[in-house]
Amino acid sequence: MQSFLDVNAMRAWLDARATALAERDAVQLLAGLGRILAEDVVSTLNVPPHDNSAMDGYAISLAELGQPLPISQRIPAGVVPKPLAQGTVARIFTGAPIPVGADAVVMQEVCTVGEDGRVAIEGEVKEGQNIRRAGSDIATGAVVVPAGKRLTPADLGLLASIGVAEVSVVRPLRVAVFFTGDELTEPGETLAEGKIYNSNRYWLTPLLLELGCEVTDLGIVPDSLEATREALTDAADFADVIVTCGGVSVGEEDHVKAAVEAVGELHLWKIAIKPGKPFAFGRVGAADFVGLPGNPVSGYVTFHVFVRRFIEQRQGLAEVREPTVIKLKAAFEWSRADSKREEYLRVKRAVENGETVLARFANQNSGVLSSCAWADGLVRLAPGQTVAPGDWVDYLPFE
């Protein structure tokens, strides 16, 4: 056990060990939501496919402007127009293809249709006006969505717009979780004297699910070396990553440390982070082992600071996400600075006099998850940093 390890050093250490999954799945477009794209998607067509109208109006030939002209055809979106007949205009609607021979569209608001059906045009008309050119938005051969991106609704819409019906995505990361401690009781059961409810399962599993992991929950493992070894080797059979909470500090009652060492390898740290501190990383067979602190708040914060980023790299996310840090004004005071550890306060955005400021949860001790449930992010403080109302601080949204 070393002395305190710096947060950035821990992050860099984990970065070096996070290898992206190579296996892929082919899925229907809508099933790709939230998955990591495995290959660049290159457009096989131009968007728009043809020069088309940006307005409801009249397609005209500049050379023939001057006097009112008759309407020779009507071009709604979705039809193939005839070439523009000489000495005429075409009635055209937004999105409809420009007929050969037309070189501008005049919006209907500046046109007058006479009783004879002829269209008079007011004002100046420029070549190409109100025409969206073929390929001006997406050209054939362009990378539309890059490999390694987590697919969003807008990505799916964009891919659909170039006709993509199926995408190649990285297969889901398989994560096994288990929980140790004879004091743990499942919610819904009666709480015996000296026991506590298992809360870690209920925030850890959904956080992993939200990241798109395939989670296998091995349940509560009895506080014994043998049972913990068995849980670990069972998990290593199928999981890419094993995550557990608790059992990795120096306390004598912690069997997880000994069990991981017995069947794999383990590194333990005291991180210079509050809440947090104990953190473990190792290998069991081909699986990574991540040991979060057993305290729910410490575990929750540690997950956000280290584990989410590690998981995303294992999932094949191309851009290693630096924590989003936004400077916001504190509407709170914090005088109890920790002299040695980076501190993460649980905070929430609020609007004060039209300005976004940060409020902090009153009780910042790490006893219960109330602060995390209330918060929408963290304020990161350097060791020794205090806060007065009005100070600009580093805000890290949970996202």
**Interface residues for a second copy in 297-326 (CB under 8 A)?**
300, 322, 324-326
* Under rule CB under 8 A, residue 368 binds a second copy: yes
Angle (CA) 399 245 366, round 5°? 65
Q: 244, 294, 286: which is closest to 265 by C-alpha?
A: 286
Q: Which is nearer to a second copy, 166 or 333 (CB)?
A: 166
* Under rule CB under 8 A, residue 225 binds a second copy: no
- Residues 6 or more apart from 350 whose CB is under 8 A from it? 331, 356, 357, 358, 359
* Under rule CB under 8 A, residue 195 binds a second copy: yes
Site string for a second copy, 59-98 (x = CB under 8 A): -----------------xxxxx------------xxxxx-
Q: C-beta of 158: minimal distance to a second copy in Å?
A: 4
Alpha-carbon Rg for the chain in angstroms = 30
Q: Which is nearer to a second copy, 23 or 322 (CB)?
A: 322
* Under rule CB under 8 A, residue 163 binds a second copy: yes
Q: Which is nearer to a second copy, 316 or 377 (CB)?
A: 377
* Under rule CB under 8 A, residue 338 binds a second copy: no
Q: C-beta of 211: minimal distance to a second copy in Å?
A: 10
Q: 253, 298, 247: which is closest to 277 by C-alpha?
A: 298
Length of the chain: 399
Contact 337, 383 (CB under 8 A): yes
| Sites for a second copy among residues 251-270 (CB under 8 A) | 251-253
Phi, psi of 226 (to 5 degrees): -65, -45
Q: C-beta of 217: minimal distance to a second copy in Å?
A: 9
Which of the ranges 147-155, 224-232, 283-291, 330-338 carries the binding residues for a second copy, by CB under 8 A? Answer: 147-155
Alpha-carbon distances of 181 from 222, 249, 267, 270, rounded to whole Å: 6, 13, 21, 21
Q: C-beta of 62: minimal distance to a second copy in Å?
A: 22
Q: Which is nearer to a second copy, 63 or 154 (CB)?
A: 154
State the burial class of residue 122 (Cβ atoms within 10 Å of its Cβ: 0-12, 13-18, 19+).
exposed
Phi, psi of 171 (to 5 degrees): -65, 155
Residue from 188, 335, 336, 353 touching a second copy (CB under 8 A): that is 188
Residue 35 belongs to what H/E stretch?
A: none
